[in-house]
């Protein structure tokens, strides 16, 4: 049996020679899939085509879309699962040798499958008092990343954990070109706390309503969408350039917003310093003694006391003078 040939996976070409063992072929395929961000493993051929995964999605098998992996044997079908999620993900496989295809459970014609984005719906405060989202808020989804935006530059990005609603996807058959079609699953509520959203209100004045709202979005490789970029292929590198450009612009916009917050706070501190100085001066005028006025009043009253004492002394001398005259006669 001639099992030499070429396998192409998302533009990554794998050459199989006659001396390659099954393990060597599997290693070549696995390395190529790593370059294009794809997980590959041997699956149970009785539960692959046209049926849901053999196991419920768990933390252990989410990277395998619910399938159990096994050691590869001749004729076992290979299962390919993208490491990322969403409609932007695609798996394209082509094998040019029929014998090699049968040996690995692949397709002689090109098989292409594209992904599916998560679905999200906001609960507005007009419908639920516990919700913090206004009617002007909008939501967009890319893969499993959900972005909520609103007025005043509000933006919040969070990830939906894979397997949240238990959705299943049917596999595409050999030689088939299809888009992922989700089935089953149950809607699940995702609660986002205030700390996740990141708003903070600062009292920057002495009066009611003098508030400053600060919103600093979470900045991580996940929220920027660059946690799983792939530069192993030309297409992946081109996509990475766009993603990194968007990430740089996002970080620059956040830094600009932080600078704006800093300028506003510095301006508020300057105003508060002036207000403090004016308030201290006003309090000093009310509570502290005016030394010039008090000394003038003291001098005036001291003069009056001394004048009164002198007049009293003169008044006391007149009776003494009359008594002295009476004693002479």
Residue 242 in any domain: the answer is: no
Q: Is the pLDDT confidence value at 249 over 80?
A: yes
Residue 60 in any domain: the answer is: yes
- pLDDT tens digits, residue range 6-63? 888 888 889 988 888 888 988 999 998 888 888 888 876 555 544 455 555 565 666 7
In our burial notation (b when 16+ CB lie closer than 10 A, e otherwise), range 205-226 reads eeeeeeeeebbebbeeeebbbb
Q: Which of 114, 132, 151 is the last residue of a domain?
A: 114
Burial of residue 247, with CB atoms counted within 10 A of its CB: 0-12 exposed, 13-18 middle, 19 or more buried: middle
- pLDDT tens digits, residue range 217-234? 778 887 788 887 777 777
The total of structural domains in the chain comes to 2
Residue 78 in any domain: the answer is: yes
Q: Would you tell me how many other CB atoms lie within 10 Å of the CB of residue 93? A: 22
Residue 213 in any domain: the answer is: no
Overall average pLDDT of the 229-251 stretch: 83
Overall average pLDDT of the 261-276 stretch: 88
Determine the pLDDT at residue 110: 73
Residue 33 in any domain: the answer is: yes
Q: Is the pLDDT confidence value at 241 over 80?
A: yes
- pLDDT tens digits, residue range 175-217? 556 666 666 667 777 776 655 445 677 888 778 888 887 877 7
**CA-CA-CA-CA torsion for 22, 28, 29, 32, nearest 10 degrees?**
180
Asked if 28 and 127 touch (Cβ cutoff 8 Å), the reply is: no
Overall average pLDDT of the 135-160 stretch: 83
Q: Which of 70, 94, 114 is the last residue of a domain?
A: 114
Residue 106 in any domain: the answer is: yes
Q: Which domain holds residue 303?
A: 289-329
Q: Which of 46, 80, 114 is the last residue of a domain?
A: 114
Sorted by sequence, the CB contacts under 8 Å of residue 207 that are 6+ apart come out as: none
DSSP code string of 178-226: EE--EE----------HHHH-EEEEE-SSSTT-EEEEE-----HHHHT-
Give long-range contacts, CB 8 A cutoff, 24+ apart: 106-112: 106/7, 106/77, 106/78, 106/174, 107/174, 107/175, 108/175, 109/175, 110/175, 110/177, 111/172, 111/174, 111/175, 111/176, 111/177, 112/177, 112/178
Residue 101 in any domain: the answer is: yes
Determine the pLDDT at residue 214: 81
DSSP state for residue 97 in the 8-state scheme: -
Q: Which of 54, 96, 101 is nearest to 77 (CA)?
A: 101
Strands 168-169 and 138-142: unpaired
Asked if 43 and 77 touch (Cβ cutoff 8 Å), the reply is: yes
Asked if 111 and 179 touch (Cβ cutoff 8 Å), the reply is: no
Higher pLDDT, 79 or 50: 79
- Reduced to 3 states (helix: H, G, I; strand: E, B; else coil), residue 157 is strand
Residue 178 in any domain: the answer is: no
The Cα 151–Cα 130 span in angstroms is: 19
Percentage of residues of the chain with pLDDT beyond 90 = 3
Q: Which of 175, 181, 171, 178 is nearest to 44 (CA)?
A: 171
Q: How many helices (H) and strands (E) does the chain have?
A: 6, 14
């Amino acid at each position: 049996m001639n099992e030499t040939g070429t396998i192409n996976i998302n533009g990554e070409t794998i050459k199989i020679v006659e001396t390659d063992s099954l393990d060597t072929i599997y290693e070549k395929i696995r390395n190529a899939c790593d370059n294009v961000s794809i997980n590959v493993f041997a699956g149970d051929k009785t539960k692959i085509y046209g049926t849901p995964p053999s196991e419920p999605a768990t933390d252990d098998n989410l990277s395998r879309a619910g399938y159990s992996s096994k050691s590869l044997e001749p004729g076992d079908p290979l299962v390919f699962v993208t490491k990322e999620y969403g409609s932007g993900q695609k798996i394209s496989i082509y094998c040019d040798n029929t014998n090699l295809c049968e040996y690995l459970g692949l397709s002689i014609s090109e098989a292409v499958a594209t992904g599916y984005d998560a679905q999200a719906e906001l609960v507005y405060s007009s419908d639920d008092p516990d919700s913090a989202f206004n009617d002007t808020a909008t939501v967009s989804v890319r893969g499993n990343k959900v972005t909520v935006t609103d007025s005043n530059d509000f933006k919040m990005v969070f990830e939906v954990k894979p397997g949240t609603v238990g959705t299943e996807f049917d596999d595409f058959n050999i030689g088939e070109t299809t888009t992922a079609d989700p089935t089953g699953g149950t809607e699940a509520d995702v609660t986002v706390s205030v700390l996740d959203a990141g708003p903070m209100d600062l009292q920057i004045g002495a009066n009611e309503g003098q508030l400053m709202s600060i919103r600093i979005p979470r900045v991580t490789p996940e929220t920027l969408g660059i946690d799983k970029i792939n530069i192993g292929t030309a297409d992946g590198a081109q996509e990475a350039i766009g993603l990194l450009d968007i990430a740089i612009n996002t970080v620059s916009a956040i830094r600009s917003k932080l600078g704006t917050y800093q300028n506003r706070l510095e301006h508020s501190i300057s105003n508060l310093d002036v207000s403090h100085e004016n308030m201290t001066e006003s309090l000093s005028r009310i509570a502290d003694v005016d030394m010039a006025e008090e000394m003038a009043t003291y001098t005036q009253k001291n003069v009056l006391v001394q004048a009164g004492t002198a007049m009293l002394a003169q008044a006391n001398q007149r009776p003494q003078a009359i008594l002295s005259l009476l004693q002479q006669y």
